[in-house]
Amino acid sequence: KAGVTQTPRYLIKTRGQQVTLSCSPISGHRSVSWYQQTPGQGLQFLFEYFSETQRNKGNFPGRFSGRQFSNSRSEMNVSTLELGDSALYLCASSLTGEGYEQYFGPGTRLTVT
């Protein structure tokens, strides 16, 4: 089975711009979660989607949003980028998300200048 894929792998954006990251889960997995990883804050949960609905949300401002499509693929969007948004964004998929292990993609490294 193919693993979780994320595109793009690297991205450089300017403050104020917006960005969309994409995630394709493992075939058959219906839950997709997003995490932000930074040296200072570590790994932080952004949100989770299951069957095209946001099921859980972390403590991030409304500039961070996401969606899931009927084929379970997911996108996350960050609007009005700030320097502090520079991070590794990780996507993870699991069968249903409810206590099942999550499998992570390679991440998208976002740099905001």
Alpha carbons within 13 A on the beta-carbon side of 26: 18
The pattern of x and - marking residues 94 through 113 that bind another protein according to CB under 8 A reads: x--xxxxxxxxxxx------
- The stretch near another protein (CB under 8 A) out of 13-21, 36-44, 59-67, 68-76 is 36-44
**Pair 77, 65: CB distance under 8 Å:** yes
CA separation for the pair 58, 1 (Å, rounded): 30
Told to check if 42 binds another protein by CB under 8 A, we report yes
The residue ranges that bind another protein (CB under 8 A) are 31-33, 35, 42-45, 48, 50, 55-56, 58, 88, 90, 92, 94, 97-107
